[in-house]
Structure 1
Amino acid sequence: MADDRHDDRLRIGRRIQELRAERGLTQRALAEPAYTAAYVSTLESGKVRPSDTALRYLAERLGVSADQLATGRPAHFATDLRLRLADARQTLCTGESADAAAHFTELAAEAGRYELADEQAAALLGLGDCALEIGELDEAIGHFRAAEDLLRDAPLPRRVPALRGRAVAHLLAGDVRYSCYLLESTIDRLNAGGLPDPQALLLLYSAVIAPYLDLGAHRRAVQAAELALALAAQVDDPIAVARLHRSVARTMLADGRAAEADASLARAQELYQQLRIRTELAHCHWMRGYLRAQDGDLPAAERELRTARAMLTDRHAALYTQQIDVELADVLRRSGRGDEAAALLSDLLGSLHPKRGAVHAGAAHRLLGRIAEERGAVADAEEHYRTALELLQHAGATADLADLCRLLGDLLRRTGRAEEALDVYRSGLGHRATPGTTTLGPAPAAPPLGSNASI
């Protein structure tokens, strides 16, 4: 702490000396009539720090703002930086993630140079989102963690966007349980604080829906969706509200409420179109394709998924595109185009693995197992089913494990391996034993909603 104060005095003293020399002033000319040349000399040597009154006086004499003299930041620098951050964010929404990343990198360096922690954290958040979009998950986690570190002394709500980003990256990397733990524990800490922040809670409840569904915790997913909807009226960030509606659509679909899911998707899509956020709009088409597939409208599902894929391919969002391809392969298989589906899935297996899209990698192997079984290739089918089991167990994604155990058990039973089949069936029943839980302990407490909110 003492070293920081000493360095601060030296920096201010150096700025006073440099600005005085640039203006051709002696120490006496700068100091009088309010101060002495000796006082200016002690300031320039870094022995003392000027008082606020002296700082304003000297800044006026030197033709700069007091803030610029104290920090070295040009006048209006922070405001200009925030405007440029908004421009970079818009570039990410509507343009190329590589261009946005270049802007965020430059802005993070500038903010760091002038010790603007909030603005530097915002730039790091932008870099994390850019990395998420192109599937560089370790890089994304690093940026989000760096933003958290910068804001470690700030109130928890200001750290929530970085925490949420890190949880999403861990989810995409296949660490479903840790993602869920990170979000649930942050929700509990926010609510325990006594004055929960609606926007921060909305971000967290919207984000926790996906890991809940992957874990098979449908009741918790529905509760999180309902709490998020109740908070939405208190939030004025349209992007957060649009994300909420997209997450809620997935929950309603899992709960068998297809009409409500479609309505939420329509609302999200409308908001993303208004905001010109292309990636999120592509996600709406993706979810709508999934919804159409669940309804059995396979041609419509294929159209929506191909639309989403084209939009994300334009943005080089490789990981999301690969995940869509898994959904598309399922539609192709159900449409009687198994060869197309198998070719599509085989191309993906090198890119999806335990640390990058493990849940979708498991789904890809499950589909390849079904295709192999339909072709009579029993050994290949078993190999794919067992690989899928390993991937989903490693990720903690229990939602699909019971059905996968049924498929493998049926295959084993049909080939005369009854004892092995029974073991697999028992394992599948174990995954169904505690529906609606994450095995992480009690669900997070609900926030104290206002009188106008309803669940």
Structure 2
Amino acid sequence: MDHVASASPIHVGKRIRDLRVKRGLKQQDLASSDISASYISLIESGKRAPSDAVLATLARKLGCSPDHLKTGHDDHALEDARLKLAFAEMALRNGDNGAALQSFGELLAKPDLLDPPALLRARMGQAGALEKLDRIEAAIPVLEELLKEPALAAGSDEWCRASVALSRCYRNMGDLALSIDIGERALATLDALGLDITVDHIQVGATLIASYYLRGDFTRAHLLAQKLIPVAEQHGSRAGRGSVYWNAGLVALSRGQLREALALTERALVLMSDDDNLRHVAMLKLNVAWLELMSDHPDPARAKQLLEDAGQSLAEVGTAVEQAKCEISLTDAHTQLGQWDDAAVHARRALGLLSSGPRLEAVAARVRLAELHLLRGETEEGLQSLHAATRQLRHFTPSYETAHEWRHLGDVWKRHGRAKEALEAYDQALVASGMPMSYDPARSLARQHQG
């Protein structure tokens, strides 16, 4: 019997009557100044649906919980379900994603033990655990079904969280067009509610900025960031403001403003440092360290310390990809410090973390490992790794991210005297960034001669 059927007036009335008889009570014993005996009779016959207040009064007199009268479930089973939900949510916050997913799954296997709000929390938690376990393809349908629920009111906190998560999942899957469409539709929905810009706008907008950035749509990203920053300062929580500054830093980087990007990301880290979301703080430390390593006057020792702090947290609460990104940046820090053996260890760790599927981060780790081989005079190993990275990179869809990796690959080829390979990588970087090669008239001449 499902939750709705078990709460029907007929079933509720029968449970009240059965429990009253079991307790040796009369209808008059359940009556009060607010509830007449005749009203009790109508409830027991299923002709009246008692309000929550009436149910609470009857439950006290019958020695049970209102939930038991509504659902018929044993009070111990209901309490166990509530405790399991709280445990699952705590496990998810603490980074024990596997245990959280198992608990959410067990709860969802018996949905009639949960009231509608608790059931919604369990489904949101399941999607969150799947995403954190990098099982994004499984998280997406859960989120899509949630957003179709009539009970999930547009503009509610749960609706906003689900919209943000779905946009983020599609972004991480590489479908930037759909990620942006979801984010833009969510913002349009919030605007249509006729409210001033809210915290929900900040959350959706911050996610949308990141997707614009990855698509290379830097103008839209910049305009949205400029719109959200003053609102976040006025209305946002420290975490919400930090999220906007974090993504504004990405926009500044895309515009070649490295010092501004570092300043914005540092500000985000200060704002979010007291947040209990260890993952967000760790990822911000990773970003600050990455920007530090890219600056005109890098401080690799400071970057290394930030990355080691981030790595400890990500080992507990981060995904394999996030841990791999930290290892890649540690490779860069150790390389700048001249600690090539340590750098190679981190590059190999990154590759080990990314062994489950094709990822751009694996290309990045392989290119760094190749350059370390070349720096140590291990030419054959270095060239083999560069050629492997080139083959792997060809399988990725052109995007701003793939253009970045092609550019890096070209730089490494160039630094080690391989002009032909460097030129090919630079050409691929231009194509991936949306600038295809110009028309070659010699091809037409060649075809004419062949004809």
Structure 2 distance, partners of 1:220, 1:336, is: 40
Partner amino acid, structure 1, of 2:172? L
Q: Distance in 2 between matches of 1:370 and 1:192?
A: 53
Equivalent residue, structure 1, for 2:303: 301
Deviation by residue 1:254-274 (Cα, 9 ceiling, x = unmatched):
434445444444443344443
Give the Cα–Cα distance (whole angstroms) in 2 for the partners of residues 322 and 417 of structure 1. 27
Partner of 2:401: 397
In structure 1, runs of 5+ residues without a counterpart are 436-455
State the 1:322 CA deviation.
1.4
Equivalent pair of 1:180/1:211 in contact (CA under 8 Å)? yes
In structure 2, how many angstroms separate the alpha carbons of the residues matched to 1:370 and 1:293?
17
Deviation at 1:307, TM superposition (A): 1.6
Contact in 1 for aligned 2:81/2:113 (Cα 8 Å): no
Counterpart in the other structure of 1:382 = 387
Deviation at 1:4, TM superposition (A): 5.9
C-alpha contact (below 8 Å) 1:117/1:151 kept by paired residues:
no
Shift of 1:207: 1.5
Q: Deviations over 1:334-354 (max 9, x none)?
A: 444445434433343354269
Partner of 1:446: none
Aligned residue type for 1:430: V
Q: Secondary structure at the match of 2:25?
A: coil
Alignment of 1:88-237 (within 5 A): 92-93=92-93, 96-97=96-97, 112-113=111-112, 116-141=115-140, 143-145=142-144, 147-150=146-149, 153-157=152-156, 158-195=158-195, 198-233=198-233, 235-237=235-237
Map 1:39-438 onto structure 2 (within 5 A): 40=41, 43-44=43-44, 46=46, 48-50=47-49, 59=58, 62=61, 69-70=69-70, 92-93=92-93, 96-97=96-97, 112-113=111-112, 116-141=115-140, 143-145=142-144, 147-150=146-149, 153-157=152-156, 158-195=158-195, 198-233=198-233, 235-295=235-295, 296-315=298-317, 317-352=319-354, 358-371=359-372, 375-377=378-380, 378-391=383-396, 393=397, 397-400=401-404, 403=407, 406-407=410-411, 414=418, 425-433=426-434
Distance in 1, Cα, partners of 2:159 & 2:290: 33
Deviations 1:401-426 (A, max 9, x none): 562574599699947689xx56x655
Check 1:277–1:235 CA distance in 2 against 1; reply closer, same or farther (3 A cut): same
TM-score after normalising by structure 1: 0.72
With over 3 angstroms needed to count, the CA separation of the structure-2 counterparts of 1:366 and 1:314, relative to structure 1, is same
TM-score, scaled relative to structure 2:
0.73
Shift, 1:386, TM fit: 3.1
Where relative contact order (Cα < 8 A, 6+ residues apart) is larger, the structure is 1
Secondary structure of 1:397's aligned partner: helix
Does structure 2 retain, via aligned residues, the 8 Å contact 1:305–1:328?
Answer: yes
Q: Percent identity?
A: 22
CA 1:239–1:100: 2 relative to 1, 3 Å: farther
Contact 1:168–1:207 (CA under 8 A) maintained in structure 2: yes
What SS does structure 2 have at the residue aligned with 1:164?
helix
Structure 1 residue 202, shift from structure 2 partner: 1.0
CA contact (8 A) 1:174 1:354 kept: no
CA contact (8 A) 2:7 2:71 kept: no
SS at match of 1:219: helix
**What letter corresponds to residue 388 of structure 2 in structure 1?**
E
1:138-189 CA-to-partner distances (Å, cap 9, x unmatched) read: 4544554454355665224441211212333343344444433332333334
Q: Is the 8 A contact 1:368 1:384 kept in 2?
A: no
Q: Is the 8 A contact 2:282 2:311 kept in 1?
A: yes
Letter in 2 for 1:403: R
Residues 166, 429 of structure 1: alpha-carbon distance in 2 compared, 3 angstrom cutoff: same
Does the CA contact (< 8 Å) of 2:209 and 2:221 recur in 1?
A: yes
Counterpart contact for 2:258–2:291, Cα < 8 Å? yes
- The farther-off stretch of 204-213 and 289-298 is 204-213
Q: Supply the distance in 2 between the matched residues of 1:262 and 1:411 (Cα, whole angstroms).
A: 27
Which structure 2 residue ranges, 5 or more long, are not aligned? 437-451
Equivalent residues of 1:12, 1:69 under 8 A apart = yes
